[in-house]
Amino acid sequence: MSDHSEEVQIATANGQTMGGYLVLPEGEGPHPAVLVFMEIFGVNDHIRDVTRRVAEEGYVALAPDYFHRTGPGIQLNYDDAGMTAGMELLGQLVADEMISDAKDAIGFLRGRDDVVHERIGAMGFCIGGHMTYLAACETDLAAAAAYYGGAIAAEEGPGGSVPTVSRTPRISGHIHCYFGGQDALIPSHRVDAIRGALESAGTAHEVHVYDDADHGFHCDQRATYHEASAKDAWRRTFELFGETLRG
């Protein structure tokens, strides 16, 4: 694993700072870059591990802390206490602020000499999957991989905004969405709504449903970890990034 990691502070549009975990790949840059959007558990050990793994694939990897307004620096475990605290923070998210944070994180990467500025992608898990989809709609990300993004097709977006799925025609890059067929948090009709919106918009996309996987299938610290699905989604993600961020 890469040890070229550091804690960073990202300037935001409101004049505050947003923490982040940055990992650099081996070799001289500039490199393409990938944002790693966290779950409700913060930029914890698992997200840090994923960020290091992304850097091992040859990308500048940044996990921004978009709970910085309400729970800056929080790192939660995958237990009842962590779930309770994370759900409270989740309920305080607002779409416009999430979009602003995504833009600020992209701006941070574009301010670096070791990043190829037009080749930035994102991946995220759970609410981070939602953040990935939202950022793909509202920024110029070249590629995005949303893992079990909750509430993308809900009747309201975060903080009572318009449904995130209604923003789909604004996506300019490529997007993959991965879901678990056993995931009761994201019923099949919402997956169908996302697929239909992407098809109607003519967006370059793939939607994959892993029949035997549940919510959180990519996280090897959760009881719902499903190795085969996690490995396949990771392979597909980096084929996407290879084609769009390196091609």
Alpha helices in 29-168 (DSSP H): 45-56, 80-90, 95-110, 127-138
Q: 32 preceded by cis ω (within 30°)?
A: no
Gap between the Cα atoms of 18 and 62, Å rounded: 12
List, in sequence order, every residue forming a beta bridge with 177; answer none if it has no partner: 146, 207
Which residues are known catalytic residues?
126, 183, 215
Beta-carbon neighbour count of residue 188 at 10 Å?
11
Phi, psi of 167 (to 5 degrees): -85, -5
Gap between the Cα atoms of 80 and 93, Å rounded: 21
Alpha helices in 91-187 (DSSP H): 95-110, 127-138
Whether residue 219 contacts residue 78, with contact meaning beta carbons closer than 8 Å, is answered with yes
